[in-house]
Structure 1
Amino acid sequence: MTGQWQTYVRQFEAYLKLERSLSRNTVSAYLNDIRKLADYSESCSPLEVDEVHLQNFLEWINSLGMTPHSQARMLSGIKAFYKYLLLEDILKHDPSATLEGPKLGRKLPDTLSFQEIEQLLLAIDMSTPEGQRTRAMLEVLYSSGLRVTELTDLKMTNVYFDLGFLRIVGKGNKERLVPVGRDALKFMRLYLEGVRNHLSIQKGAEPYVFLNRRGGKISRITVFTTIKQLAEQIGLKKSISPHTFRHSFATHLIEGGADLRAVQEMLGHESITTTEIYTHLDRDYLKQVIQEFHPRS
């Protein structure tokens, strides 16, 4: 790598760490991508690289047999590098602006079978306050397909027990109404009446449904950790997270024949193509209301 490349790569590294606050692994991946480009471009400086040169580079790494996902990640690093040079007024034109990455096939995210969901739920120790909270949280995640932040941000005033709905404030502060199953409501009531009502609630945490043992709003990390520990307890080999319950919710509904647009509405997806990741079936939007197809209905 020539001196000019080295200088700009060092500056780019500082920018990624200090201004972008990216993780060590992400920074390392970006720098490796730029070094590959630098090695390929030994005859010209980073300021002389143009669109054609970058396109040739992408064709070259494709010919080496690099996977589409690796190529897309590499392109992301290159684009970040040139955006940085543009930001610093080192360049006036971004040669990577018009580059397009390889088409990535959508694949079905990891899911749990209904039997695995049941196994996890039945392994929870309901004799403890934490167990009652865990059961309520997981029932809600699987019954309504919430994102983990939507679960931790769920407020008491947004749970409509009489109607069987949750009002969720999702991405971009967009609100949606999501039906919640009978079991989830039952275990939520048990938690609220048997655990939450006996906590000394911290100031500012009063509106939230799920609280930690100190009476504060529960964190995303606690939800992640709880699920990981439960999976280890039953010897589940899959790597699962709160999002796994969301994936399973959507997959089980669609496999049962639920209307794709209804699932889109439930998940709070902007586009139906985002929901279509859960199915490879070419079918009309069919059948009846979404709850009819949920295994725990």
Structure 2
Amino acid sequence: MLWKDALYDYKMYLKLEKRVSDNTIENYLRDINKLINSSEILPLEYTQDDITSFIHGFASSEYSVRSQARLISSLKSFFGYLQLEEFREDNPASMLESPKIGLKLPDVLSEIEIDQMIEVIDLSKPEGQRNRAIIEMLYGCGLRVSELINLKISDLFFDEGFVRVIGKGNKQRLVPISDYTIKYINLYKDTIRVHTNIQQGFEDILFLNRRGKNLTRVMIFTIVKELSIIGGVKKTISPHTFRHSFATHLLRNGADLRAIQLMLGHESISTTEIYTHVDQEFIRDAILNFHPRNKN
């Protein structure tokens, strides 16, 4: 079996059977290509010693522990697929142990920092109104970037107070949207977007670029990065930071963890529980201020 055939079959398996997102597939294939570039061994010829030797060489390089863990996970998945399809009798990566990477807590913006970014948006330009709506949607609904750029006008159910979101694995969920956020979406949609020369096939996409097509992930990252710099926000942030802030602020103000899980579209409550770790300072203050032994 040649590598190109193995990678194509594996990609189709991830996409059609496992329903893995395009971004995750790209990461898996990028990791496997590191193995391909390290030697001329074909996929069915790799032994456990070959894989172990490759991983040791990778670990001694400048790659982070997190990158090493992801690489091991990718190799286990790939060779596990070859075993599942009976191309191989074994998985040579099955005995690899991932390095401990600890709990990586996401950065969270304060309400003041979010307001700082919004205040520096140039609303005199058409894209300013759009960018304001984008920030309000990211923070107000906790959307992933991929969900935001693919959001359709037909997904907006403002009378009912919900937005329909197509998440990972093409799974749909309904996310509540506040009147405050609705106001800025409508302002963009009814005063700016209506004057855009919309290209065929993008008539239903909510957020458009100047050419009348949907925005890319890179463009959203650029918008957020520029606003954070101009607004004087010192943290290293991305569009996903608004999703973390959305969840953390809900938890801080008393929202149920199960409700936050449903709004974020997490399959497991354990994924959502990371936000209980994010807000340790808030939890500590709650104990100091409200426990009877700490009261004067």
TM-score by length of 2: 0.70
Of 112, 117, 121, which residue of structure 2 is paired with 1:115? 112
Instruction: Give, in whole Å, the separation in 2 of the partners of 1:190 and 1:118.
Output: 18
Amino acid at match of 1:275: T
Alpha carbons 2:156, 2:163 under 8 Å: kept: yes
Match of 1:145 in 2: 142
Amino acid at match of 1:95: P
How far does residue 180 in structure 1 lie from its aligned partner after superposition? 1.1
How far does residue 28 in structure 1 lie from its aligned partner after superposition? 10
Alpha carbons 2:109, 2:242 under 8 Å: kept: yes
Aligned pair count reads: 260
How far does residue 254 in structure 1 lie from its aligned partner after superposition? 1.1
Alpha carbons 2:119, 2:231 under 8 Å: kept: no
Matched, 1:161 2:161: no
> Aligned runs of 1:199-218 on 2, under 5 Å?
199-218=196-215
How far does residue 195 in structure 1 lie from its aligned partner after superposition? 0.3
Q: 1:34 to 1:75 in 2, by over 3 A?
A: farther
How far does residue 230 in structure 1 lie from its aligned partner after superposition? 1.1
For residues 211-257 of structure 1, what are the alpha-carbon distances to aligned partners after superposition, in whole Å with 9 as ceiling and x for unaligned?
11122222222211111111121232322221111111111111222
Match of 2:263 in 1: 266
Instruction: Give, in whole Å, the separation in 2 of the partners of 1:217 and 1:67.
Output: 34
Of 218, 227, 230, which residue of structure 2 is paired with 1:230? 227
For residues 118-167 of structure 1, what are the alpha-carbon distances to aligned partners after superposition, in whole Å with 9 as ceiling and x for unaligned?
10111111111100000011101100001111111111121122222111
Of 233, 236, 245, which residue of structure 2 is paired with 1:239? 236
- Per the alignment, in what secondary structure is the counterpart of residue 178 of structure 1? strand
Instruction: Give, in whole Å, the separation in 2 of the partners of 1:227 and 1:212.
Output: 15
Q: 1:81 to 1:199 in 2, by over 3 A?
A: closer
Matched, 1:95 2:92: yes
Alpha carbons 1:120, 1:234 under 8 Å: kept: yes
Structure 1 stretches lacking a partner, 5+ long: 1-10, 36-45, 283-297
- Per the alignment, in what secondary structure is the counterpart of residue 174 of structure 2? strand
Q: 1:77 to 1:223 in 2, by over 3 A?
A: closer
Matched, 1:198 2:195: yes
More deviation in 184-193 or 89-98?
Answer: 89-98
- Per the alignment, in what secondary structure is the counterpart of residue 273 of structure 2? helix
Structure label with greater radius of gyration: 1
Instruction: Give, in whole Å, the separation in 1 of the partners of 2:174 and 2:26.
Output: 35
Q: Report the identity percentage.
A: 48
Q: 1:108 to 1:257 in 2, by over 3 A?
A: farther
Alpha carbons 1:33, 1:78 under 8 Å: kept: no
Q: 1:57 to 1:214 in 2, by over 3 A?
A: closer
Match of 1:295 in 2: none
Taking only aligned residues, the RMSD between alpha carbons, in angstroms, comes to 4.2
Alpha carbons 1:12, 1:81 under 8 Å: kept: no
Match of 1:186 in 2: 183
Alpha carbons 2:32, 2:74 under 8 Å: kept: no
Structure 2 stretches lacking a partner, 5+ long: 12-24, 281-296
Amino acid at match of 1:181: S
Q: 1:143 to 1:49 in 2, by over 3 A?
A: same
Instruction: Give, in whole Å, the separation in 2 of the partners of 1:57 and 1:224.
Output: 34
